[in-house]
Structure 1
Amino acid sequence: MSTPFTPDAVEAIKRHMNDDHAGDSLLIVRALAGRPSATTAVTSDVDAEAIEFTIDGGERVRVPWGETLTERAQVRKAVVSLYRRACADLGVTPRGEH
């Protein structure tokens, strides 16, 4: 698993996801990682190919971006894309689209 991101960038992304988007992470895990009964999802890693979550305190699952990321600026767009796909799969209205 390669990463174009520095360790500091990975830590910042993880912190932002866990502090501000824990609910979004859970939706992504439930819909796109095939864990519909997950109750928690903590972002545990990010690399060029996927975002990784630790769910329910132990199991790690990876959700592919769908493309190889080459720079940090792409992460936000990739996460939003995963979130919107998850919402569509789960029949949830995405934030801001009420």
Structure 2
Amino acid sequence: MSTPFTADAVEAIKRHMNDDHAEDSLIIVRALGGRPGATSAVTSDVDAEAIEFVVDGGERVRVPWGETLTERAQVRKAVVRLYRDACGRLGIAARGEH
């Protein structure tokens, strides 16, 4: 797992995801992480290839970005893309702004 992100950047991304987008993470894990029955998903890591979650307090699940990220600014767009794809797969409406 290589990463173009500093440890501080990874911590900031994790904190933002867990504080502001916990429901989005759960939607991503259910639809794209192969865990349709998950009840919780906590962002645990981010690297160039994927975002990782701890699901239901134990199992680690990695969800690939679909491309290799090279800078921090790409993370937001990649998360929004995963979220919208996950909503589409689950047949639920995505919220407008992230």
- TM score, norm. by length of structure 1: 0.98
> Is 1:93 the equivalent of 2:93?
yes
Deviation at 1:6, TM superposition (A): 0.1
Name the counterpart of 2:77: 77
Q: Give the aligned CA root-mean-square deviation in angstroms.
A: 0.9
- Per the alignment, in what secondary structure is the counterpart of residue 36 of structure 2? coil
Stretches of 4+ moved more than 4 A in 1? none
Letter in 1 for 2:73: A
What is the distance in 1 between the residues matched to 2:53 and 2:92?
21
1:1-98 equivalent positions in 2, closer than 5 A: 1-96=1-96
What is the distance in 2 between the residues matched to 1:96 and 1:22?
16
Letter in 2 for 1:56: D
What is the distance in 1 between the residues matched to 2:8 and 2:70?
16
Q: Report Cα offsets for 1:8-48 as digits up to 9, x if no partner.
A: 00000000000000000000000001100000000000000
What is the distance in 2 between the residues matched to 1:31 and 1:79?
13
What is the distance in 2 between the residues matched to 1:39 and 1:45?
19
Q: Report Cα offsets for 1:53-88 as digits up to 9, x if no partner.
A: 000000000000000000000000000000000000
Aligned length, in residue pairs:
97
- TM score, norm. by length of structure 2: 0.98
What is the distance in 2 between the residues matched to 1:38 and 1:47?
23
What is the distance in 1 between the residues matched to 2:39 and 2:45?
19
Q: Percent identity?
A: 85
Gaps of 5+ in 2: none
